[in-house]
Chains A and B, each alone.
Chain A
């Protein structure tokens, strides 16, 4: 069964077409990322799928049901974490999740279990205003999951987190997906999408430009590999003579960079001449895909 089936979704605000004929199909148990610059239409697209906004055209079915008008039965099967920390003011961590649990008719014991899973047990008596950014994100995710939803939407869950907190959160998000839930995530971090998502949709100007696995997207980019050799190992002339090397760039700090479309041959050559020490290989990344699709100019 498909978790999300969207056909020809349109949303316009005055002259602006925020979402322009978007099709999206997400299978059950999939982890799908939605990438795109600011203002690409990611949030509007998700809000239509979540049933918060009525599409101007097209149709959405979620878990086999229509999302509009508001459908309480469906809402109980969906969990949504919004960008901001949407909490009741001045409640403690525990009171907060208990309140959300009551809204879904869930008892206190499962709510407390979620606090344990997101590592907030020693913070249960802390007021939400006194939580760090990472703790607030984890609480907000726990509140989104408290009713054990089949489908989870996460809107930029790791923005404004330090690297440790981000990696910890990745583990949590993977475990949510491993338990069989479908997860839809928006993010600005390409490494995050690469690490977590089965498939990635890149959006710009209201359209979905591509939708595929991170690996095929990178492969489809057909970008050359860049092999960096430690300084002093190779000189420019010798580098250019290596079989398979298309171009040689100098990097003052790191040494010489060999640009090639045939990394296996170049690496084999380097290996036989015992020049592999300190070598670094960089193939295309999702970031390259993103930039080649959406361009480099600043967005609002």
Chain B
């Protein structure tokens, strides 16, 4: 038995070395998805925090005489610059260099804004209205009767990074598992290495196990790098049952290796196999919510996405990693992914030929 173990290790090391020395594979498996993470995490999350550029023309008593606490809140929302030229300031807003111009005529507070920036327009209107209302109430001398306090359903640290990390990770794992399996099967068949291994006294099981072990190792490294970078650079916070992402990654990897085997069994060349794997995985990533949430998508599309394994991997990971669901929430996705893996593997095995002739 130790002899089979040494064959397993030798094959695993050989495959891993081959992967690590293939710069293109490493790039697409690890670096490329990380670029998306940086893009989504860095770019889109910074938009949430950006302040509204406000140009104050002349004296605005309402703002200038704010009490300290209110003034702080005001400055959290607005980046204030001062100007004396109303026409020039409005022109700035029109060109998009500023978001709003504020002036006071008597008791009237006037805000000029552009509708092209709807989110900022809404923030501006809401904040200024609250300011005016608050001041009116204070001037009336009566204590306010009603008060509003709001609380988000999710952890209050929920930002873009929380949503994009699990989805992008699902895509990265699907991609590297599918490509690895497709390229290995086709490449080994082309070079007749498959035949050569068939002639050696190692079982097919040992060869397959070695390939799976290497792909799983790569997937777990992807998980660590992804979560590590998202937590360190973009403030990702994992919720309680995050460790259930480990079995999800494992079963997801098996499922997408099966997709890659299928592509490798169908295609006639290495390029064909990789292209077919790409053709299957990339649209699936879009339709499974890897890049953007599907909440706004039409119902039929959401129904359709239920037929895609990646959707279930993504949902499972979101549940346990950021939505704070219990470990049990991963069970159904795990079973669905395992079923996909079994069916697709059986299909690939049916289509498989030892060599191209």
Contacts and interface: CB of A to CB of B under 8 A. Distances in A.
B18 A89 contact: yes
Contacts of B191: 84-87, 89
Interface size class of A (residues with CB under 8 A): 20 to 34
Interface string A72-112: 11011010101111111111000100111011110000000
Contact of B15 (A78, A88, A104): A88
Interface string A18-53: 000000000000000000000000000000001110
A47 to B, nearest CB: 8
Nearest to A82: B192
A228 to B, nearest CB: 44
B136 interface: no
A89 B15 CA distance: 8
Contact of B198 (A52, A83, A105): A52
A160 B41 CA distance: 54
Contacts of B13: 99
A100 B200 CA distance: 8
Contact of A102 (B7, B187, B192): B7
Contact of A105 (B7, B15, B197): B7
Interface string B1-27: 001001101110111011001100000
Chain A interface mostly: loop
Contacts of B11: 99, 102-103
A83 to B, nearest CB: 7
B207 to A, nearest CB: 9
B17 A95 contact: yes
Contacts of A73: 201
Question: Which among B14, B15, B191 has the greatest number of chain A C-beta atoms within 10 A?
Answer: B14
Interface string A100-135: 101111000000000000000000000100000000
B85 to A, nearest CB: 67
B10 A103 contact: yes
Contact of A83 (B3, B9, B192, B193): B192
A80 B17 CA distance: 25
Interface of B: 3, 6-7, 9-11, 13-15, 17-18, 21-22, 187, 191-193, 195-203, 354
24 contacts: A52-B195, A52-B199, A70-B198, A72-B203, A75-B200, A80-B196, A82-B195, A82-B196, A84-B191, A85-B191, A87-B191, A87-B193, A88-B14, A88-B15, A89-B22, A89-B191, A90-B18, A91-B14, A95-B17, A99-B10, A102-B6, A102-B10, A103-B197, A105-B3
Interface of A: 50-52, 70, 72-73, 75-76, 78, 80, 82-91, 95, 98-100, 102-105, 127
